A = this chain, B = another copy of it.
Amino acid sequence: MNAYPNISIVTSLIADPTRAVMLDALMSGQMLPAGELAYISGVSPQTASSHLSKLVKGNVIAVEQQGRHRYYRLANKEVAELMEMIAVISPPVQVRSLRQSQEMKKVRHARTCYDHLAGKLGVALTQALLHKGFIAMVSETEFDVTAEGMEHFRLLGIDLAAMKSNRRIFAKRCLDWSERYHHIGGFLGSVIARHLFEIKWIERIEGTRAVRITEEGRNRLQEWYGIDVDTQEGHDNLYKNAHA
């Protein structure tokens, strides 16, 4: 009857709430051991193991063994893109506890989206780069780095010219599910995020996709981009200038 690929296999794997939490955690781009994934998703190690083996068999995640630990990660970039896409058309979670509400705020504030930045920070940074003319909207799906932008990123410590000598810099416009604006994805997004971790403007918050903006990062974001960051992650009204 059905000539379509086995959609049900992949979707039913993602559909389970416990597995969704696990995949969410892996969306940070990190590799996590089975035990930690069990803790994060709030199930026993046995249950987690059962879920993980199903996800591996379904090619949604991949394993790498290191000693007695088994580290899990998303199988490929397509899975991450799929997760983000689903998030865009999904209803928000209903908040049940204060703890959860704070968790939520942190994630909406700043997070990684597989290998690039998202949340208020990701969007604000994108808006600032656009406003200052360092990147430009070239189409419905892409940004482009301008000549000034190339110079700007060089000053920041990212030598794009050296990285992709001939090929064009690829900067995808990635729709942000929490902000409903676009942020920078693709190659450029990945490079920026990695660099900001390196120069310690941001750092990971353990066990989630949320990232914390350091004191250094807060000062530099104000200085370079005029972005007002309240370092308290739970705060709502950030980036007053950025959206102007």
User: Which residues of A pack against B, CB within 8 Å?
Assistant: 1-12, 14-17, 20-21, 24, 40-42, 59, 76, 78-79, 81-83, 85-93, 100, 103-104, 106-108, 139-142, 168, 170, 172, 177, 186, 208, 210
Contacts and interface: CB of A to CB of B under 8 A. Distances in A.
- Interface residue SS majority, chain A: helix
Contacts of A103: 1-3
Given A4-B24, A20-B7, A79 B89 contact: yes
A4 B87 contact: yes
Contacts of A177: 5
Given A85-B81, A89-B78, A139-B170, A7 B1 contact: no
B93 A5 contact: yes
A93 B6 contact: yes
A186 B106 CA distance: 35
Contact of A1 (B11, B40, B82, B142): B40
Contacts of A11: 11-12, 14-15, 20, 86
A31 B38 CA distance: 44
Contacts of A5: 87, 90-93, 177
B208 A107 contact: no
A15 B8 contact: yes
